[in-house]
């Protein structure tokens, strides 16, 4: 039995943050009914066409859900949604600022449904000077200061994945799990308010504290670490790049002895401690480069492994897709979609006693008629709703 079997989630969601949260609820066994506009559906459906004609963004965060097309601005659709929410355990929305409240779907609906768990995901929250401000992933990365610490010394860079959306989705997911557990004990529902700024802000803890108490922000250092040295990419004699991480004095000693094979560097005052290596980063890098430039990547990796120093080679997406560790652990699954069968990565739960749900990616409105039938709508009524373009 999956942990959330018997739980129903109604999601008025779009793009990444909300769908990422509810996909994980679905994988744990919840029934997730995704509400989409009849014309076009979730905007993420049209972001690209790279997955056999489907959007990579949509495929990523929407498997294992049921799609119900509803024009929630129409009275008939509002009635359908009201019936769904009355039967639901969780209602999640990540609409534009104020949109849920204008539709009568704000936290106040818990007055009629006290056991309901209401979750709203927004950019900045329902109050404060930024409450009405639109928020997209890149813009929240800017507001949270992520771009100020990511990139090279010459140029800031955004994260290559939607970090703010993912952070908000993760905190919504875990908050809903906590609320379900509390309801099991107390019978009480919950109102959950998750913002992209605060979620990503939690991930910014190290640079924020470093700047607040150190007097200056950690420097942008590209793929190297802002404060730990040596840590990051180093070019080998054959042109390949090896990444490594030396985290403490024991590892630094092993690195000098077993990798650089220059034991005198252990007592060199320039490198005698973590802060000293940070102050003399360029000199430390020159010492590493002097050794690595004379060896192949394979030779360097062999030395690093022998010395028990963490290391990696830089994978591209093709390399990740074929990663032998994922293959060995059976992390891929076949999943259906409107475009046929797809290979998708399993969620990282690895919870004993159950397999995560890996059902199909839904077509727009694919489940509208069965869901309406459950709510008591007959064929003639459904046909009328289609005529009105309410579904």
DSSP symbols for 109-142: GGGT-TT-EEEEEESS-SSSTTTT----HHHHHH
End-to-end Cα spacing for the chain: 33
Boundary-marking domain end, from 257, 287, 314:
314
CA-nearest of 69, 41, 36 to 391 is 69
CATH code assigned at 300 = 3.30.1540.10
In the prediction, which pLDDT does 16 show? 98
Residue 92 lies in a domain: yes
Average pLDDT, the chain: 96
In the block, tokens 């290979």 appear at: 343
Backbone angles phi, psi at 67, to 5 degrees: -105, 120
Q: What percent of the chain has pLDDT over 90?
A: 94
- Looking at the fold, whether 38 and 154 belong to one and the same domain comes out as yes
CB contact at 8 A, 144 and 204: yes
Residue 260 lies in a domain: yes
CB contact at 8 A, 240 and 313: yes
Task: Quote the distance between the C-alpha of residue 167 and its chain's center.
Answer: 6
- Looking at the fold, whether 26 and 69 belong to one and the same domain comes out as yes
pLDDT exceeds cutoff 90 at 219: no
- Looking at the fold, whether 97 and 16 belong to one and the same domain comes out as yes
How far apart (Å, rounded) are the C-alpha atoms in residues 23 and 169? 10
Residue 217 lies in a domain: no
**Which residues in 313-327 are b (16+ Cβ under 10 Å) and which e?**
eeeeeeeeeeeeeee
- Mean of the pLDDT values across residues 297-320? 95
C-alpha count within 13 angstroms, C-beta hemisphere, residue 68: 29
CA distances from 236 to 84, 211, 231, 242, 251 (A): 60, 34, 15, 7, 21
Boundary-marking domain end, from 288, 314, 340:
314
SS3 assignment, position 318: helix
pLDDT digits (tens, 9 = 90+) for 36-90: 999 999 999 999 999 999 999 999 999 999 999 999 999 999 999 999 999 999 9
pLDDT digits (tens, 9 = 90+) for 233-270: 999 999 999 999 999 999 999 999 999 999 999 999 99
Residue 211 lies in a domain: no
CATH code assigned at 378 = 3.40.50.10540
- Number of domains comprising the chain: 2
- Looking at the fold, whether 120 and 145 belong to one and the same domain comes out as yes
Structural domain containing residue 250: 231-314
- Looking at the fold, whether 235 and 140 belong to one and the same domain comes out as no
How far apart (Å, rounded) are the C-alpha atoms in residues 306 and 129? 55
- Looking at the fold, whether 145 and 193 belong to one and the same domain comes out as yes
- Looking at the fold, whether 79 and 165 belong to one and the same domain comes out as yes
Residue 322 lies in a domain: no
- Looking at the fold, whether 103 and 47 belong to one and the same domain comes out as yes
pLDDT digits (tens, 9 = 90+) for 152-209: 888 999 999 999 999 999 999 999 999 999 999 999 999 999 999 999 999 999 999 9
pTM of the model: 0.92
In the block, tokens 């993912």 appear at: 166
- Looking at the fold, whether 286 and 145 belong to one and the same domain comes out as no
- Looking at the fold, whether 159 and 271 belong to one and the same domain comes out as no
């Amino acid at each position: 039995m999956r942990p959330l079997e018997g739980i129903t989630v109604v999601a008025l969601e779009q793009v990444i943050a909300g769908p990422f949260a509810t996909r994980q609820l679905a994988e744990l066994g919840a029934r997730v009914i995704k509400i989409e506009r009849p014309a076009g559906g979730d905007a993420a459906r049209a972001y690209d066409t790279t997955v056999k004609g489907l959007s990579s963004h949509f495929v990523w965060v929407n498997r294992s859900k049921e799609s119900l097309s509803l024009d929630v601005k129409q009275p008939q659709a509002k009635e359908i949604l009201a019936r769904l929410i009355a039967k639901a355990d969780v209602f999640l929305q990540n609409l534009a600022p104020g949109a849920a409240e204008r539709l009568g779907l704000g936290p106040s609906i818990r007055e009629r449904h006290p056991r309901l768990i209401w979750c709203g995901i927004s950019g900045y929250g329902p109050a404060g000077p930024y409450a009405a401000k639109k928020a997209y992933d890149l813009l929240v990365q800017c507001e949270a200061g992520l771009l100020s610490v990511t990139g090279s010394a010459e140029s800031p860079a955004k994260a290559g994945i939607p970090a703010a959306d993912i952070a908000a989705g993760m905190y919504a997911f875990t908050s809903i799990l906590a609320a379900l557990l509390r309801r099991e004990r107390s019978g009480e529902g919950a109102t959950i308010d998750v913002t992209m700024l605060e979620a990503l802000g939690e991930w910014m803890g190290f640079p924020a504290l470093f700047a607040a108490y150190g007097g200056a922000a950690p420097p942008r250092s590209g793929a190297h670490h802002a404060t730990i040295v040596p840590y990051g990419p180093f070019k080998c004699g054959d042109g390949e790049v090896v990444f490594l991480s030396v985290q403490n004095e024991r590892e630094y000693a092993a690195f000098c002895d077993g990798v650089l094979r220059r034991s005198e560097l252990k007592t060199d005052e320039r490198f005698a401690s973590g802060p000293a290596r940070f102050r003399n980063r360029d000199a430390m890098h020159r010492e590493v480069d002097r050794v690595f430039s004379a060896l192949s990547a394979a030779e360097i990796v062999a030395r690093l492994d022998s010395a028990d120093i963490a290391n990696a080679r830089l994978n591209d997406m093709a390399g990740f897709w074929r990663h032998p560790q994922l293959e060995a652990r059976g992390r891929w699954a076949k999943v259906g979609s409107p475009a046929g069968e797809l290979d998708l990565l399993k969620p990282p739960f690895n919870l004993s006693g159950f397999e995560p749900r890996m059902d199909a990616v839904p077509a727009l409105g694919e489940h509208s008629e069965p869901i309406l039938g459950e709510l008591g709508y007959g064929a003639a009524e459904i046909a009328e709703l289609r005529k009105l373009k309410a579904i």
